Amino acid sequence: MRRALALAAAALFALGPAVPATAAPVDPEDGTGGFDYPRGSEGPEGSEIAFEFQDDRISESSGLAPSLRHEGVWWTHNDSGDHLAEVYAVNEEGETLATVTLNVERRDWEAVSVAQGPEGEPAVFVGDIGDNFGGGWPNVRVYHFTEPEVLGDLVLDPSVLTFTYEDGGRDAEGMMIDPRDGRLYVVSKEFAGSVYAAPENLDPDGENVLSRVDSAPLFSTDAAFSPDGTRYAIRTYWGVTLYDATDGVPGASVGSFDLPEMDQGESVAFTPDGTALMAGTEGMNSRVWRIPLEGDQRPDAAAETGDESADEEGADASPVVDREDAEEGSSFGATPLILGGIAVAAVLIGGIVLLVRRT
């Protein structure tokens, strides 16, 4: 994965203006392909390590979501690879409290969300939405089960929802569920990524078509709604963009910022009070960061408790911008410069995309 990302960043750097300003040449002998590709920074002021996973089985944490039943509990799972079909509940010290084993065929788990299920109770949704074959799967799946009232090890048969894309198969790593109406969204992981909406009413037995409703930042690796549904976040390997979803999806951007440096940033989630983001990475005993939100980046329910003076003090808090302006100016978005660079280097980037998707 890292080698593929280094090659991708090197190609983008060669395209000049299309690459974020943080990329710079480094020693070609250091294994990065000769370029220091953007991997984050110290993050906004106040960013701190919330916890580290203590369970050696959690070596490729790829999704993160807060429990709706248990305070201080987070659900996570591993990425694709030689892993069991297990979902883990961990506490705020990173200790595993419960392991739920699903009796399913595991392909490429990439995301997890906790939302109200079909029975009206909190449910854990696991997105088997990755595609290491570049759109080769005929469909993708989302498994869900009622969140246990008592945490403990379980083996169960989850319910399954099946999805296809209206414009053909693709790789995706982001999944989020609007807590206001239960609508599910998938965010593709591509140079010019997209946000896809599931039907309002899901068919539990047939195939549900995902419809494209918006563009998404370059190389999106996860997405999440705030607890009140008025904001959503889409993260990349290097940063995050937040959107105002008061009137639904798509929403207007309310700013982007770098995340703390991570080896391979994969997950994002809002804290239950909506005042901060949690961001995780793959790796053994990997860290989960807490990143405070300020001003318009906070959900409506959390904004009332925020310090309004933070907008003046914090340089990391970006102003509200128009959706089109954000896509043109954001270093994380699918800008026209990037698209133009892709056209010029189509053959090179096509190969890199295959490398990235196969990781």
Q: Half-sphere exposure of residue 220, counting CA atoms within 13 Å on the CB side?
A: 31
Identify the three-state secondary structure at position 174: strand
According to DSSP, the residues that pair with 124 across neighbouring strands are 114, 145
DSSP string, 327-357: HHH-SSS--HHHHHHHHHTHHHHHHHHHHHH
Residue 250: is the preceding peptide bond cis (ω within 30°)? yes
pLDDT digits (tens, 9 = 90+) for 124-157: 999 999 987 777 788 999 999 999 999 999 999 9
Interval 93-106: pLDDT, tens: 999 999 999 999 88
- Are the C-beta atoms of residues 245 and 230 closer than 8 Å to each other? yes
Domain boundaries, the chain: 1-38+337-359, 42-321
**CB distance 99 to 74 below 8 Å:** no
Task: Please report the pLDDT score of residue 191 as a whole number.
Answer: 87
Burial class (CB in 10 A: 0-12, 13-18, 19+), 29: exposed
pLDDT beneath 70, residues of the chain: 1-41, 304-359
Cα–chain-centroid distance for residue 265?
A: 9
Provide CB contacts within 8 A for 315, sequence distance 6+.
none
CATH class (in words) of the domain with range 42-321: mainly beta
Task: Please tell me the predicted confidence (pLDDT) of residue 76.
Answer: 98
Amino acid at residue number 316: D
> Which of these, 186, 109, 102, 90, lies nearest to 144 by C-alpha position?
102
User: How confident is the model at residue 41, as a pLDDT?
Assistant: 67
Helix, coil or strand: residue 109 = coil
- Structure confidence at residue 318 (pLDDT): 37
pLDDT score for 188: 96
Phi, psi of 206 (to 5 degrees): -105, -165
pLDDT reported for residue 92 = 97
| Residue 292, pLDDT score | 97
DSSP string spanning 221-276? EEEEE-TTSSEEEEEESSEEEEEE-TT-SS-EEEEEEEPBP-SSEEEEEE-TTSSE
Q: Give dist(CA 277, CA 15) in Å, integer.
A: 32
Pairing of strands 86-90, 96-102: antiparallel
Q: Could you tell me which residues come within 8 angstroms of residue 226 by beta carbon, excluding any fewer than 6 positions away?
A: 232, 233, 270, 274, 299, 301, 302
pLDDT for residue 305: 59
The answer to whether residues 218 and 18 touch, using CB atoms and an 8 Å cutoff, is: no
Alpha-carbon gap, residue 234 to 216, rounded angstroms: 8
